[in-house]
A and B are shown apart, each in its own frame.
Chain A
Amino acid sequence: MSLTAIGLGFIVIGAGLGIGLIGKGAMEAMGRQPEVLPKIQTAMIIGAALIEGVALFAIVLAWLVDK
């Protein structure tokens, strides 16, 4: 149980770092080139969704292992 909880913490750290970096990159790109803002937004959401997907896989696996 506690080991799974630690693992979940790591998952959140990883996903948070990843989505944070994507957000940072997108913000900088938007600041430099506001004219391609919609494209950057779409790409940002897709990237964030893929990272989130990995995090959710890990959470599901953690839940299965813990069961």
Chain B
Amino acid sequence: MVKSFRILLVSVFIWVSGTILFAEEHEGKAAEEQQFDALGMIMHHISDSHFWHVIAFEKKDGSVFEISIPLPVILIYDGSIHLFLSSAFHHGKSVVQKGNHFFKLHHDKIYVTDAAGELTFSEDGTPENIKPLDFSITKNVASMWMSVLIIFALFVSSARKYKGKPSAPSGIQSFVEPLILFVRDDIVIEQIGEEKADRFMPFLLTVFFFVWINNLIGLIPFFPGGSNVSGNIAFTFTLALFAFILINVNGTKTYWKDIFATPGVPGMVRIILIPIEVVGIFTKPFALMIRLFANITAGHIVILSLTSLVFILKTVYVSPVSMSLTLFMFLLELLVGLLQAYIFTLLSALFIGMAVHNEEH
């Protein structure tokens, strides 16, 4: 197990270093002449991308030198799969030809165009061209894989120590064990009950650590971190969908009876109550999805806005204020990252607990 894990780690490393770092120069005006676009910068940082940006700096002649890792683009269009590296787009300047089709990158979305790369825009400025199905390994996906590797490294090594003779926890195990016990005793057993807890432990434990580690990686301000994975609505949607399926698949007769034939309620009131209860089935996971997304995205936006203060006010004297506020927000976000992982797990466990309980009480 550990051997195969090492092989995986090495192959990922080779992939990352073997992919030629994609360096590029653009013609850019000097920074003072350009109007600083805070909103554009923030949106760029919190949204997903086909490139993994490493660093960019301005050279003496005013041109911008940028290094980023190109990521694989996987498109399904017209019944065939197109596979190429995102460096072929040259940051949206080039049109990529695959067979008879041409693809162009515009604001990190891929569109089907003609050979010249013409995009037709609607009145509100969004392109009207067809979008191919995009299954690319984007920055968020790559970052998510990285956190999966971290989780494997943390847990596979400590899980091995429970085989054989029991001994006192050592090394990374003594960090992981109290956390797992906290999730089991204070969240899962508390909400679901001792007898059924073991069935839901794998999901809830995974959710807790996956959300937490993704939150922490999102807070690293430089290269391997910084992607807004847990502040991506698709990511939180998937986690909430799993919770939704678990809640409703494991719902007991009592759970469904509470929804469709609420005990102790006269028939006419049920006409009003049933729609409310049915909507309630969907709002629970929906709230889980929105809560994580909004909290993490809002944290990123606040940190980036505070950093932008220097550039918006165009004075260096505001930087002590901006730096200390940013540091404060970073510390707060460390807390929020753990708290949101805890709340997501707690509420999932609570909803599952409500669904699996039986009549006698």
Contacts and interface: CB of A to CB of B under 8 A. Distances in A.
A and B bind: yes
B31 interface: no
B346 A42 contact: yes
Interface residues of B, number: 13
B291 interface: yes
Interface of B: 186, 190, 283, 286-287, 290-291, 294, 342-343, 346-347, 350
B244 to A, nearest CB: 15
Interface string A12-55: 00000000000000000000000000100010011001101100
A38 B346 contact: no
Contacts of A60: 290, 294
A12 to B, nearest CB: 12
Interface secondary structure of B, over-half rule = helix
A46 B186 contact: no
A49 B347 contact: yes
Contacts of B190: 42
List 10 tightest A-B contacts by C-beta distance, closest first: A53-B287, A56-B290, A56-B294, A49-B343, A56-B291, A60-B290, A49-B347, A53-B291, A52-B291, A46-B350
A59 interface: yes
B87 to A, nearest CB: 34
B343 A45 contact: yes
B294 A45 contact: no
A53 B290 contact: yes
A10 interface: no
A44 to B, nearest CB: 11
Nearest to B339: A45
Interface-central residue, A50, A52, A56, A60, by most chain B CB under 10 Å: A56
A25 to B, nearest CB: 19
